[in-house]
Amino acid sequence: MPFRDLFTASGISGSGMSAERLRMEVIANNIANANSTRSANGGPYRRQDVVFAEVLGKATGPGNLPGLLGVEAVERIEDPSDLPIIHSPGHPDADANGNVRMPNVSLPTEMVNLLTAARAYEANLKAAQTFRQMNEQALTLLRS
């Protein structure tokens, strides 16, 4: 299977791009739910984050090191930090004292995370482009 090994690098970059795309989805979900006082598990929406892990293949080749297969998102966690409380007696989710617990999403943080995800995606894209360029340059060796 000669080609499968030839293009491992593009697969690794692809996994990185998929992971960053998922991160961007989670951040977009955080921003969209910045004011949601109800969520699937009862209370107000909690900010979410993704956990990435390295993917390794079976050990082959020199040094018997595990093969490199990129990254994958393994978990989506909720931020356990305190929920801000605002006073809004007219709110349907207000407690007896008129206080409403709001999501712990902070928009500036989410914006910075969004920027980080976009830049990381770009970095993976650049790696894939460079890999392609390297291959094209190697192909010019065959031209007389």
Partner 1 sequence: MALPSLGTMSSLAPLAPLPSLAARPSAATPADGFGRVLQGLLAENGAAQVTADEAVRAVATGEAQDLHTVSLAVAKADLSFRLILELRNRLADAVSEVTRMQV
Stretch that binds partner 1, among 13-21, 69-77, 79-87, 91-99 (CB under 8 A): 13-21
Nearer to partner 1, 18 or 116 (CB): 18
Q: What is the DSSP letter of 39?
A: B
Phi and psi at residue 140, to the nearest 5°: -65, -20
Binding string, 68-107, against partner 1, x = CB under 8 A? ----------------------------------------
Residues 107-126, interacting with partner 1 (CB under 8 A): 125
Which residues on adjacent β-strands are paired with residue 48? 78
Q: Does 144 bind partner 1 (CB under 8 A)?
A: yes
How long a stretch of residues is the chain? 144
Q: What is the CA radius of gyration of the chain?
A: 22
